[in-house]
Structure 1
Amino acid sequence: MDWGFPRWRGYESAREAAQIRLCDRHGCSEPGDCPAPKSPSSPDRWYFCQKHAAEYNAGWDYFAGLTKEEAAAREKKERQTHEGYQESSHYGWAGSGDGSRSGDELRALEALGLEPDADFDAVRKAWRTKAKEVHPDVRPGDDEAAKAFQTYQLAYEVLRAAEERREWHG
């Protein structure tokens, strides 16, 4: 009885049954709302509940059977297709250890011996400390030290550029 005013009707007054996809794990009756790939390069997906998706993904290696070069090429290709999302991830509320840093930034932090959520002051301090130990003026003629120095320099440049991008956008 709404006298022709549909907005007066109560919520959930529809009689149709809601379509819920069940978990693809045999015997599970939970809703299957977590997609998981059936095989590496396949668009087909399983749909598991959260518990079974975590169980399935625990043993999953997305780069299984690929050489290091093929894995790097696939990562680069997929980073290009999802670049807009990665670029916008710094607008979120979360900190830096939860996906707001790129793979290059994480590798640079690892090279400097830092945690994924380290701030830029810690990066600068670690870089100065490590670079002083292997600087070519301190250890002339040492090829390993020169290589380590270049690694630290590159890591610092990657992290400095990322910090400048964050400051510019934020």
Structure 2
Amino acid sequence: MYIIDSFIYLIIEYIMKRKSNISLDYLKSKEVSKNCDTVNCGNNGRYLAPKSPGNKEMYIFCIDCVKIYNKRWNYFAGKTQSEIYDFQKNDQLESRPTRPFSKAKHSEIKFEFEHFFDTSRINFQKKNNKFNSIENKSLSSEIRTSLEILGISKKISKILVKKRYKELVKKYHPDLNKNFIDQEKKIREINKAYKILMKYIENNNASN
């Protein structure tokens, strides 16, 4: 099975290297009068780019966005087999192979680039990556959820938890907000998260 997987990987690497560099001259195959397909870009789109390898459907990008797209098209160039397998397991670039390489005779990497330039998704992913830092990687889902409620993405400490708790209680206190019911619910959520984290710190002798 490993030999088959390795063979498939070599084929994929060969295909991706051949298709990796999208020529701007080719992309600008005809003049178009449409906005760039990049989310929230708004510039005039003049360059055509295939939506995926072998796909006849095209995106229309401005010069800046097509350069970014070209770089991301090259994402698999030089990647090891292990890195490609790891890529299958996450959604970091909002791009998912349709099936594992070893489960089909004619497996083909198909990309979904619809969200490549969606800044809201990119920012969310950055925040998520930060939250999943080494310090918090082995924590339980309950602790991770509590950290997220308090907006903590750093190493857990009693000082930081108390600081964030005070800030949020002040921000969402029902007496200071018009929507009493919603704010009261939020405060209960914050209180619960605070208690969970403080108990965790006490039980694990976390830093002050």
TM-score (norm 1): 0.46
TM-score (norm 2): 0.38
